Structures are given as C-alpha cells and as structure tokens.
Structure 1
Amino acid sequence: MPADDAIPHALEYADRWLAYRRWRLRIPGVQAAVRIGGELVLDTAHGVADEATGEALTSAHRFRIASHSKALAAIVAMRLVDEGRLRLDDEAQQHAPALRGTDAGRLLVRELLSHGGGAVRDGDDVGFWHLAGPFPDHDGLLAIARSGVERIPASVEFKYSNVGFGLLGLVVEGATGVPYADAFARLLAEPLGLAATAADLNDGDSPLVTGHSALHSATERTALGSPAARALAAATGAVSTAAELTDALRTVVDADGRLLSAAARRRMRQQHWSTTGRDGGAGGYGLGLMLREVDGRTWAGHGGAWTGQATRTLVDAERDVVVSVLTNAIDGPAEELAVGLARLVHAALEGTDAPIERARSFEGSFASVWGRVDVVELGGRLLGVSPTAADPMAAVDELEPLDDDRVRIRAATGMGSGHETAIAERGADGRVARWQGAWRMDAVEAVPA
C-alpha cells in the first residue's frame, strides 16, 4: 500500500513537471486535470491563453477538444442503444432518410462508431481545415454523402473518418428528433452538470483559448481562427475544459453507471481495430474510443487536433483514473504530456508503504552545465527524474538514502553513476542546496523565471 498522501504528493510534483515541460517546449499554455475514483484531484493551468495579449491561462478556459467529440458522440449514441432507440447494426438510412440511396446510408452504426465504414476522411475538399472556408453545413454533408463516401469496402480495415462521425450526428438527430447539439446537451452535458461543455462552438460564459500555429516552419507562432464545425460537430466540434472532460469520459469506466449500462461501457472499450499512433506506438480503436498501453495497462480515451490546439485524454477503466491534457498550439505535445502524467500517477498508485520522511528531505530541482534532474519521492521510492525527457519515468535513477545526507545511486543504465554515492549539502532551511560526490549540481527553481 502506498502512503496515504502518495497521490497528492505525486500530483504536486506532476503539476511542477507540467509547468517545466510547458516552459521547456515553449508551448503557449497547458491545462490539465486528473480524476481518480470520481474525485477531481488535479485541476491546473500554466502559461497563457493568448500569446499576443499575455492573458493568463486558467482552469476555466475552454478548448476546442476536436476529435474528443467522437468519444462524446459515442456516449450519446450508446445511451440511445441502451434506451432501445438505436441499434449498433442499424443502417444509417434507417434514422437519416436523407441518406437513402447512397453508400453512406448503408453504413452500420457500429461501422461509423469504429471507423470501419471505409468512408472518406473529410471529403474531396479539405479547405475548411485550413480556414479557407466554413465547415460543411447540413446540406454540405449531404452533398458529400450523395457524391459517394466509400473509399474502401466497409468492415475491411480501420479508416479514420470525420465524415463518418458527421453521418453519426445525422443518425442521432433522426433517433432523437432534435438537432445534434440539443441531443448532446440532453443526453450528456446536462445530466452530468457540465456547464462549459457543448457539442460545438457557442456563446458560453467561460472564456475560449486562442489557438496558435506550430513552429515547424517559422520561429514565431500566430493566432489561428476557430470556426464552428457545423455538420461535423459530432466528429470534431466540441468545447470543454480539462476538468469537465475528465468527468465526461469517466462515464466509460467500470465504476461509473451514471449514463451508460455496464454492457455499453464494455462494448465501447472493446478493441475493434489495431492502429498505429502518431508517435509510432501500437494502439487500437473501440467504439468512439482510442486504446493504448501505458505501463502494461490498457487506457481508453481520445485525442484531438484542432486549428491551433492539441488535446489528449487517457482513461484507466479498471482503476477509475482519468487524465486530460489540453494545449493551445497545434504542435502541443498533448499525447506526450498525458502519458507522462499517467505514468506519474501509476508510480504513486503502484507504490509501497516504505518510509518516506527521510526520502522526501532530499527532494528538489537541481541543475549543472550538463543537465537537470528532479529528485522526488513517488510511491515510496526516491527517484532522480530528468524533466528534460519526454517521458518522466524513462531511465530514472533510483536513490537509496544511506543517512540524512547521502544516497546511493542505482543508475537506470550502466552509463550512469550506478553504485556510487551522492552527498547532499543542506542550507539553513534544511533543504538540499547542492549535491557533491557522484553528482555535482545546485538547487534551482522548479520552473525557470
């Protein structure tokens, strides 16, 4: 069993780690939340909402969460399945008569939910993704459908499709008799009390962040527009905060029966396709949910890429843990940050009841001309974490306290100072001011000014 305060202590460090990573990677802003057992245990924001104005980012700022919309649309659809108003094997045209006579109309609900329909990703003109025109409206989506959406036969392989989820939005409208945004509010946002979450851009009370361009071809970022997604709202239109998003996606975990039956939750998380993530890692896709492995556990969830924003949420359905990271730059490493945050939480949850008082007395951030290390106790272990690395738990040094001022380094690799001793020199406040011996570093601020 980890110590009683293992999770709060780990999250205190995780917050500093996020702040440093934002500074290190020059991301305008990062908003993050962690929910465990339904309790919001971290709700934080660092940086700015808009680089041009310098407006500070807060936890109340809303983001365009882009393809997270698919997970939320899937929850809405599965509520209709639970109520008997929709079946996974229904053809789209049964609920959206305007699709009759098209290949889109013959697609099954489960094929739309799992990206198994073989449908075109965005249509034959993707200018709206480049802010060259508005997103398709209802008539525009029907025009895409009538021109033919099939690019490969259905149920052959995974083929990501925003158009497919746009068609799902039409199915939801047909099954409920109301516009998709209203169905979203009635079936998801309102029952959960999510005041900042909506199916598409709206005039909510909470401020909206500014999206920023990437640094792949320029040295400065520019502000990017954020139009309504209109008929593609079910695919990419939603707005939310990290805190509310963790609550919405918690509804797929084993312990949460607020919206969905246990069977619906399991079906959503069941892997239908194997996929490869943008980071090259192996993953999968269920019904509106991305799947990936972190520390030997399968996490569900979704990511999102919007004009100027990148976001990611991870859900450990068995342990009832939800992690969400939202960034307001199109090249923001949301996936990397969310996985790192999940790994820090995992380290605390998997910890032991080893004595921690002495271990924590060595904690702090330290640097030299050669690099930087955070010394932190996580789950009963004293670790030397490199905050400059993308993964905070990759190649960490474990430190064994020998007495009040010395630790033995159990180096992660043979290239380090394994089996050697680092000596802590403490200041008047008792905290470590510098390291000597096998390490030579001075204490620094957790995030540079």
Structure 2
Amino acid sequence: MRQTILGVVFVAALSVPSHADDALPFKEADLDASVAAAMQAFETPGVSVGVVKDGKLVFSKGYGIANVETGAPVTPDTIFGIASHTKAYTAAALAMLIDEGKLSWNDRVIDHIPEFRMSDAWVTREFTIKDLLTHRSGLDLGAGDLLIFPEVETSRQEIIMAMRHLKPVSSFRDKFDYDNLLYIIAGEVVGRVSGMPWEEFIEKRIFAPLQMDSCRALPEGLSADAPRAYPHMTVDGKLTVTKFDKGDPTTAAGSINCSLTDHAKWVAVQLNGGKMADGTPLFSEARHKEMWTPITPLGGDAFGRPPYNTHFKSYGLGWFLDDMNGQLHVYHSGGLIGMVTYTNLLPEESLGVIVFTNNMNGYTMRSLTNELLDAYLGVDNGDWVEQSKKDYAERLANADKVVAEAKAAASGAKSKAQKADAYTGTYRDAWYGDMVVTAEKGKLRMTSKRSAQLKGDMVHFNRDTFIVRWDDRTLDADAYATFQFGPDGKPTKVEMKPVSPLTDFSFDFQHLDLQRVQE
C-alpha cells in the first residue's frame, strides 16, 4: 500500500477571499478539513482551490507544499501545469479568428495545412476544423500520445506527418475517443491563419488583455524563480518529485502553465459569455454558444444518473458538457505526469470551481470540487472524500493484485525464453520511430529512440513475453513485450501493452506496431 502524507501544511490565500466567510455557502473550516482528509487519503502534497462567483474570485486558498524536497508552500499564485485545460484556450483562439472572418469551423483542415493526412483519403478530404476539436476522428483513446509523452523531442510538423500512419478503430464521426494530437494540429491552424505561432497568439491575444501575468503558453517560458508546483509520483511507497513535462510537443493540447488566481480570470470570461471585465468581448457571444453546444455524445445511460440526475454527457469545442440537477454543467480536467487539475462551471449560477493538485491522483480534485458544487446547489450527497477513499482503495487493490501476479509469474516462469540474442534488434513503428532491444551478459534491455525516459531491463515472463521495467520508476508504466517470429525463426515484431490497469492511456504502448528492421 502507498505511504500517506503526514504533517500536512496549510497556507492561507495571499490576496483573497474578498467576501466574508459567512457570505459563502460553505464554512472555510469545513473545507479545510476536507482538504486535509483528501490530501492524506490520496497522497497529495499540495492543493490550490478557488471559487469564481458573479465574475469575481470570491474564495481562493493554497494548501500544503509545492515541492516535497524544498517545502515551498502552495498559494493561489503558485503556477501549475493545467494540461488539457489548454484545449479550451485553443478553441477560443480559433473562435477569435472566426470572428475576424479568417476561418470557419467547417473549413477543411487541408485548406490550411495542405500536407495533413489521415489514413483514409476520404476522411482526409472531409476533416474540418471542428473535427480537430471534438474527439470523433475514429482514432482510439490517446492514439499517438507517445509522440508527446514522456519526455520526448517531437516537432509539430512530425505530428502532422504521423497522423497518416495512425489506424482508426471506429468510423469517422461515429463515437467519442479522447485525443491530444488533433488539438496540436488545431494549434498549427491558429499559427498558419494568424501569422504567429500558437503560443504567441495565446499570450498576446488572451493572456495579455486578461492580465494573466503568471501564465505562459509553454512552460519553457517560465522564469527560473517562478513559484511553480512540482509534479509528484509515489515510488516504492514514497512521494517523489518527478520531471516536468516538456511543453513544446503538447502545445495546443496541454502546455499552458498558470496560477489559480490568473486562471480564474479566464473562468470569469467564460461565465460572462466571452466578455472581459470591462465588457469588451474577447470572442463573440455567438462563438461562445458554439463552444458550449454539445457535438459528440459520450454515450452511457441517459436516464437520470446519480448523484446529480444527469441526462446527457457530451463534448463541445474544448469543453465537456452535461447537466447537474437540471442545469448546464461545463467542465474539463487536465493531467500531466505528476499533476492533475480541474475546472467546473455552472453558468446559470455564474459559478466556477477550480482545483489544482500536484500529484496524479484525481480523487482529491474530484472530491473537493463536488463538495463545493453541492454547497452552491444546496444538496447533500454525503462525504465525498470518504466515498472516494473506498473507490480508490478498490482500484489500488485491483491494480496491486494484477502487478503482483505479473511479478510472481515472471519470477516463477517455467517456460524458458530463447537465447537473448534471438530477440535483439531494432523494432520500428511508422508513426513513432524505433525501439531497440539489446543484450548484455545475457540480459535484455529496451530503449526508445524518441523518449529518453523509456529505457529499461526486460524480465522474462513467459515463453517469448517479457516485462519491461523502465529505469525511471516514476512512470508507473511497466509493459509486457511479446515477440513474434517468422518461419525462419527470426523475430518479426514485438507487441506491447501495460502491466498495470492504472497506467495512463497516453503511454500504454498499445497503438505501436513495432516491426523488426531487417539488417
């Protein structure tokens, strides 16, 4: 079982709340207790919580620490990587260009990026700007994400050229499967149409007018002394600082870094129909409505799902959409290695709830968000932290069992592998590149030529299947690697899949088609 955090530190907000505690529908002391319980239960070193109401940040507070190695406190001005919240900013950038008459949601992507190709010629011709944003391309969940995670050097042009090699798992526009790469291409559309790179557009056209001074479109733009929250993972029972994700590969899909204080300004614009505090539109009301219009259904039961009597779930343009007790609910989460964040809007209440955390456990952000939403909706759905603890314990127990069984099978493997040299060689995927298998003193290692983090020993599991144990234990992404052989007895390919069911979909290796390169 994972080690829990002791000695949680609480740090009060530096600039807000601007309203008295009795003006809020929740008691600050009660929220403090819930945060403490969540941080303890879900191994979360630091949390930043904010509430936007009627255009103002009425509550904000930092809890815990930004870095377990330094003990630096979290405040509302601590900068977090907000990951997929970036998608709403990218959708807004396109909306602004549409307002200027430079673009249409229904423009074909190839009219702006002529070299863009999907695997099917008809899909390529029909693929629109709207399709880039709505997760209905036919590609699988997270397809191609190994081009951007973990710690890779991939250019935007490489991503554009890689799309043609990714195989669909469903029909075009048929179903929802979350993706990242198409948002990066949407950012490239912003760049080509506006005449400035996506990151420059975001900073000049959104951050500057909203005075979001802490925010950077790419983390590389942050100063060395910026008050950053560091990502954390639990490794061998110990909470450990891990590497920051590089922003440039993810760009328009997930590279923005921002403090809660400044992200709240963006939330206020969203709740105000696209208008800034002085009434000037950042984007038009028409575009605002389009971004909040359901486009891609998420499926599932549509008959009053508890606890909020939810009847639909869908994706719009950069936002998830559903209903909570009869009200429109607009939301998005963001996840990086070692950091998850959450923004929830109830437009009819003119309410936004923001929770940023610096570990990869989503239970903290969801528990605290639901508690605050319940307070404003005037409902009692019980203790969200306690409910989440049960679910978390079950998921951990299941994952630990699966991993333990894999380790036991590997250590007690009765079927022998072939000699190590039988597996060595370069294995190439058309969109990803090369994985190289080498042998040293009879032991195998796998090394990615794209990601510096993906290198590790291969432990025999069964017959021609091995478990790759990555040297960087913060990844929590050990993988099975199964070799296939041709009639001549030589390896032809290797297939990979994650050992743990908790491995993030962005680096689960299942979309790789690694064919051995003939030497």
Q: Aligned residue for 1:140?
A: 158
Q: Which runs of 5+ in 2 are unaligned?
A: 1-18, 277-281, 390-519
**Mapping 1:81-92, distance limit 5 Å:** 81-92=98-109
1:10 paired to 2:23? no
Q: Aligned residue for 1:362?
A: none
1:59 paired to 2:83? no
1:341 paired to 2:369? no
1:41 paired to 2:58? yes
Q: Aligned residue for 1:28?
A: 45
SS class of match (2:221) = coil
Q: Aligned residue for 2:207?
A: 189
Q: Aligned residue for 2:232?
A: 212
SS class of match (1:111) = helix
Report Cα offsets for 1:138-180 as digits up to 9, x if no partner: 2321231343565433211112110110110111111101111
Kindly tell me: are residues 340 and 122 of structure 1, through their superposed partners in 2, closer, same or farther at Cα, counting changes over 3 Å? same
- Equivalent of residue 324 in structure 2, options 294, 309, 328: 294
Kindly tell me: are residues 152 and 13 of structure 1, through their superposed partners in 2, closer, same or farther at Cα, counting changes over 3 Å? same
Alignment TM-score, normalising by the size of structure 2: 0.61
Q: Aligned residue for 1:417?
A: none
- Equivalent of residue 251 in structure 2, options 223, 233, 240: 233
Question: For 1:100 and 1:128, how far apart are their aligned partners in 2?
Answer: 19
Kindly tell me: are residues 94 and 306 of structure 1, through their superposed partners in 2, closer, same or farther at Cα, counting changes over 3 Å? same
Question: For 2:83 and 2:299, how far apart are their aligned partners in 1?
Answer: 19
Question: For 1:50 and 1:228, how far apart are their aligned partners in 2?
Answer: 18
SS class of match (1:311) = strand
CA apart distance, 1:35: 0.7
Q: Aligned residue for 2:292?
A: 269
Alpha-carbon contact 2:85-2:334 (below 8 Å) kept: yes
Report Cα offsets for 1:37-95 as digits up to 9, x if no partner: 11111111101111122222222211111111111111111111122111010011222
Q: Aligned residue for 1:412?
A: none
Q: Aligned residue for 2:336?
A: 306
CA apart distance, 1:384: 12
Kindly tell me: are residues 21 and 343 of structure 1, through their superposed partners in 2, closer, same or farther at Cα, counting changes over 3 Å? same
Q: Which has the higher contact order (CA 8 A, sep 6+)?
A: 1
Kindly tell me: are residues 276 and 56 of structure 1, through their superposed partners in 2, closer, same or farther at Cα, counting changes over 3 Å? farther
Identity of aligned residues (%): 22
Alpha-carbon contact 1:119-1:150 (below 8 Å) kept: yes
Question: For 1:5 and 1:59, how far apart are their aligned partners in 2?
Answer: 17
Question: For 1:35 and 1:165, how far apart are their aligned partners in 2?
Answer: 27
Question: For 2:387 and 2:367, how far apart are their aligned partners in 1?
Answer: 7
SS class of match (1:134) = coil
Question: For 1:213 and 1:384, how far apart are their aligned partners in 2?
Answer: 30
Q: Which runs of 5+ in 1 are unaligned?
A: 351-382, 393-449
- Equivalent of residue 118 in structure 1, options 133, 138, 149: 138
Kindly tell me: are residues 390 and 38 of structure 1, through their superposed partners in 2, closer, same or farther at Cα, counting changes over 3 Å? farther
Number of positions where the alignment pairs a residue of Structure 1 with one of Structure 2: 351
Q: Aligned residue for 1:244?
A: 262
Alpha-carbon contact 1:71-1:301 (below 8 Å) kept: no
Q: Aligned residue for 2:216?
A: 198
Kindly tell me: are residues 266 and 7 of structure 1, through their superposed partners in 2, closer, same or farther at Cα, counting changes over 3 Å? farther
Kindly tell me: are residues 140 and 120 of structure 1, through their superposed partners in 2, closer, same or farther at Cα, counting changes over 3 Å? farther
Alpha-carbon contact 1:166-1:235 (below 8 Å) kept: yes
Question: For 2:133 and 2:362, how far apart are their aligned partners in 1?
Answer: 27
Alignment TM-score, normalising by the size of structure 1: 0.70
**Mapping 1:90-105, distance limit 5 Å:** 90-99=107-116
Q: Aligned residue for 2:386?
A: 389
- Equivalent of residue 328 in structure 1, options 358, 376, 391: 358
Alpha-carbon contact 1:311-1:327 (below 8 Å) kept: yes
Amino acid at match of 2:262: E
Report Cα offsets for 1:208-267 as digits up to 9, x if no partner: 21101147xx42222221132324311111111222222213323255523122211111
CA apart distance, 1:199: 1.8
Kindly tell me: are residues 253 and 14 of structure 1, through their superposed partners in 2, closer, same or farther at Cα, counting changes over 3 Å? farther
Question: For 2:344 and 2:140, how far apart are their aligned partners in 1?
Answer: 27
1:315 paired to 2:332? no
Amino acid at match of 2:185: L
Alpha-carbon contact 2:343-2:353 (below 8 Å) kept: yes
1:174 paired to 2:204? no
CA apart distance, 1:387: 7.2
Kindly tell me: are residues 105 and 34 of structure 1, through their superposed partners in 2, closer, same or farther at Cα, counting changes over 3 Å? farther
Alpha-carbon contact 1:7-1:345 (below 8 Å) kept: no
Amino acid at match of 1:42: F
Moved more, 117-126 or 163-172: 117-126
Amino acid at match of 2:65: V
> Aligned-residue CA RMSD in angstroms?
3.1
SS class of match (1:115) = coil
Alpha-carbon contact 1:48-1:54 (below 8 Å) kept: yes
Alpha-carbon contact 1:22-1:46 (below 8 Å) kept: no
Kindly tell me: are residues 238 and 317 of structure 1, through their superposed partners in 2, closer, same or farther at Cα, counting changes over 3 Å? same
